[in-house]
Every structure is written in C-alpha cells, then in structure tokens.
Structure 1
Amino acid sequence: MNQNLILQFLYDLEQNNCREWFHDHKQQYQAANGIFEELVETLMLELKKSDPTVLLTEPGKLTFKLVRDTRFSNDKSPYLPAFRAHISAKGKLPIPVGYYLMLRPGGRSFLGGGLFADMFRDATAMVRAAIADRGEEWQEILSATSFTERFIVKGNALKKVPYGFDPNHPQAEYLKNKSWYLEYPIADEELSDPQFVQKAVGVYQAMQPFNNFLNQALEQFQMPARS
C-alpha cells in the first residue's frame, strides 16, 4: 500500500480546496481512496483477531466523506482534506466506541479511540456513572504502563464536577468530562513504514481496555432517531 499517494493527494487538495480542482482530479482521488480503503480493511481484519466484537464489513462503509457541511461555518472550503474511518462493533457509528483513523498531511494524522460525541448527553451520563461506581477499575486502566506510554485522556470538560457527583471523588477530574477519547499521533513518514499496520494494531490493542470500559458503561445507550 502506497500511503504516500494518499498524503500527496490530500496535500494537493488542501492547496486547491475547490470543487473544480477536485472534479478535475477525480482519478487521483479514486486512487488515493482505494488505497485508504485497503488500509482500513487490513486494520479491520487484524483487529478482529484480538477484538471479536469488530464488525466485518465493506471498508467503504467505515469511511467518512471529504465533503464538509459549511452551513454554519465561517470556513466555506468544500472539503476536509483528510481520510477518516471508524472500526467498531457497529461500523462507523460513534457508539459503541472503537478504533478511529485519520490521515492528514503535515503531522496531523492519528489513531484514535474512545467516546468523541459530546452531543449525546445520555452517553455522557452513563460513562460518568460508571467512573463514579468503578473508579478503581478506571484508574487501573489509565495507570497501566501500556496506556501511560502512549495516551492521555482528552475531551471537553466542565469547570466543576457536575451536580450529583462527589467533588472529592478520586476520579473527580474525569467526572467533569463530557467525552473521553485518545489520540495517538502519526508522523507522515511513519505511514510509509512497512511495519505501519503492525504498529497501528499494537496501539489500538493498547486502547482496548479503555474502550471496553466505555462500552460496558454504554450498553443501554440508544442512538437517537433521526428527525
């Protein structure tokens, strides 16, 4: 797989972010997208070996479009110059949480995991309750060497512990969060390494206890119906 072709296309798109250029370079997009889907499929199959919940499906069903929704943005660029995918028990749905991949040139690529979706208040409440009830288990996951060597828990957070939770709880800082996610940065040159897939799978495997905790907390979550 020539991941450099992906980065080159995305770099060119970033420099020429308009519909005319994109349409004139559709063949380059199709070639880059094909390589990305091949990478996603390889990761999906490898992750299935250590995480049996992973849904095996067509890689194109796990990827996100480059087209941006510019209706409420000051930036009217029509495309996000990044290839993105989410692998989980339900494909690219944000819940259950799984394994996120973003490729973007300029050192902005990363391997992700955890809960990114601040808009799901029920999900946030469920995870907070799980952290409050199972704080020692949560801390054990976050204190493991395989975790601390790679990750820092990120996520938008309140200034204070929300009402109904003990502000002196040992995990009070994490009770403030509205999301809990991980981002492992990937340098551009790492994508051309023949061992990239093996490295990525290793990083994702190190996320699995974190993801498992969140998914156990989210077992009763129902995705809101689309209006």
Structure 2
Amino acid sequence: MTYEKMFNYLSALEQNNHQEWFHETKQERMKAVAEFNQLVAALSQQLHEKDPEIPLVPAKKLTFKLNRDTRFSHDKSPYNPVFRAHIGPNGKAPIPCGYFIFLKPNNQSFLGGGLFADMFSEATDLIRQALIEHETEFLTIIEKKEFKKYYHVMGKQLKRMPRGYEAYADSPIAEYLKFKNMYLELHISDQEILTSDDFVQETVEKFLLTKEFNHFLNSALKDFHFPERK
C-alpha cells in the first residue's frame, strides 16, 4: 500500500484552500480519500483482531470530513488539509476512547490514544475518581518501559489541584488529577510513512502500546453520557 496520493493531495489543498479548487479537483480528492479509507480499513481489521473492544465497521464511519467549522474561528479557510480517523469502540465518537490517526504533510502527522476532548466535566470527574481508586494500576500502565519509550500522558492541565482534590496534593497521581483530559501522541515523519515497508503493521504495533491506557479510561468512563443537545 502506498500513500503518495494522500500526501500530494493534502499538500496541494493546503496551498489552494478555497472552494473553487476543491471542487475542480474532485477526482484527485476521491482517489486520496479512497487511499486513506483503505488504510483505515486495514488498521481497523488488525486492531479488531488484537483488541476485542474494537468492532468492524466501514472506514467511512471512522473518518472525519475535510470541511472546517469556521463559525467561531479567525481562520476562515474552508478546509482542513488533514486526514483523520478515530478507531474506537463506538466508531469515531471520542468516548469510549480508541486509536487516533492524524495525517498531515510536513512532518505534522501523529498516532494517538486516550481522550482528546476536554469539554466534558463528567468525564473529567470519572477519570479523576478512577485515578484515586486505581492509582497503582494506572501508574503501572504508564511506567511500562515500552510505553514510556514512545508515549507520555498529555492533556489540558490545571496549574493547581482541582477543587475537592486538595487532599491528594502529595499523591503520586497528583499531577494527573490536574488534567481535564488525558491523551497520547506519537509524532511520525512523512518519510516514516512514505518509505515504510509495512506502515499498517508498524502503526498497529504502536497503537497497541496504548491499549491498556485506553481500557483504563474506558473503564472509568463506562457510565458517561454525552450531554443532550438543546
């Protein structure tokens, strides 16, 4: 499997980010999208075999559109020159957590896991409670040698202990209790992707290093409910 069509198209879109060019190059876009869907399908198949929480669903249900929501952004460019997919237990929904792939030219690609969304206060509270109740389990996961070789916990973090958690200020998990969300990122270069002998297999191996981390968060979030839209 090769990925030149994806990267060539995304590079061109970044330089021609307007509706006229987008529609004029539909044929090239469809070829690039098809290439990405093929990659996502292959990743999904192998992850399903290694992680029983991942169902087999069509790649189109795991990927995100190129269109940008510009309503609240100073950047009015209509398209996001990125191919993205979240391969999770509930497809591309951010909860439960799964495996995230973000492909962008100029060495801006990464693989990820965990919870990227930081706007769900209920999710934050559930994760914090799980950290307190299962401190040793969490620290064991993130301190594993192979995990630490590639990943470290990231997220939007408070400067001080959150209200109600001051008693844990000296705990080994104190810094993690400050996070509003918790995710992992492994940056990968264009060359790593374009010259790999088996990018799918290499990616699955890196993804599976985040499996226990994802499962920890998903256990914490099992009773989470998305807020109702008004």
* Aligned residues of 1:4 and 1:191 also touching (Cα < 8 A): no
Q: CA deviation at 1:115?
A: 0.5
CA distance in 2, matches of 1:175, 1:148: 19
* Aligned residues of 1:118 and 1:179 also touching (Cα < 8 A): yes
CA distance in 1, matches of 2:174, 2:142: 14
CA distance in 2, matches of 1:201, 1:163: 39
Q: Match of 2:220?
A: 217
> Please, what TM-score do these two structures have when normalized by structure 1?
0.98
Say whether residues 1:194 and 2:197 are aligned partners.
yes
Out of 186, 209, 216, which is 1:184 matched to?
Answer: 186
Q: Match of 1:10?
A: 10
Q: Match of 2:90?
A: 90
Deviations 1:112-153 (A, max 9, x none): 100111111100110011111111111111100111000011
Q: What's the C-alpha RMSD, in Å, of the aligned pairs?
A: 0.8
Q: CA deviation at 1:225?
A: 2.2
Q: CA deviation at 1:11?
A: 0.3
Q: Match of 2:176?
A: 174
Q: Match of 1:136?
A: 136
Q: Secondary structure at the match of 1:84?
A: strand
Q: Secondary structure at the match of 1:149?
A: helix
Q: CA deviation at 1:208?
A: 0.4
The amino acid that maps onto 1:170 is P
- Alignment length, in residue pairs? 227
Q: CA deviation at 1:34?
A: 0.2
> Please, what TM-score do these two structures have when normalized by structure 2?
0.97
CA distance in 2, matches of 1:171, 1:65: 37
CA distance in 2, matches of 1:71, 1:164: 36
Q: CA deviation at 1:226?
A: 2.5
Gaps of 5+ in 1: none
Q: Secondary structure at the match of 2:209?
A: helix
* Aligned residues of 1:113 and 1:182 also touching (Cα < 8 A): yes
- Counterparts in 2 of 1:1-80, with a 5 A limit? 1-80=1-80
Displaced runs of 4 or more, over 3 A: none
The amino acid that maps onto 1:198 is Q
* Aligned residues of 1:132 and 1:169 also touching (Cα < 8 A): no
CA distance in 2, matches of 1:103, 1:210: 22
The amino acid that maps onto 2:192 is E
Q: Secondary structure at the match of 1:92?
A: coil
* Aligned residues of 1:84 and 1:103 also touching (Cα < 8 A): yes
CA distance in 1, matches of 2:33, 2:15: 18
The amino acid that maps onto 1:223 is F
- Counterparts in 2 of 1:103-122, with a 5 A limit? 103-122=103-122
CA distance in 1, matches of 2:60, 2:197: 23
Deviations 1:22-76 (A, max 9, x none): 1010111000000000000000000011101102111001100110011111100
* Aligned residues of 1:98 and 1:114 also touching (Cα < 8 A): yes
CA distance in 2, matches of 1:43, 1:226: 32
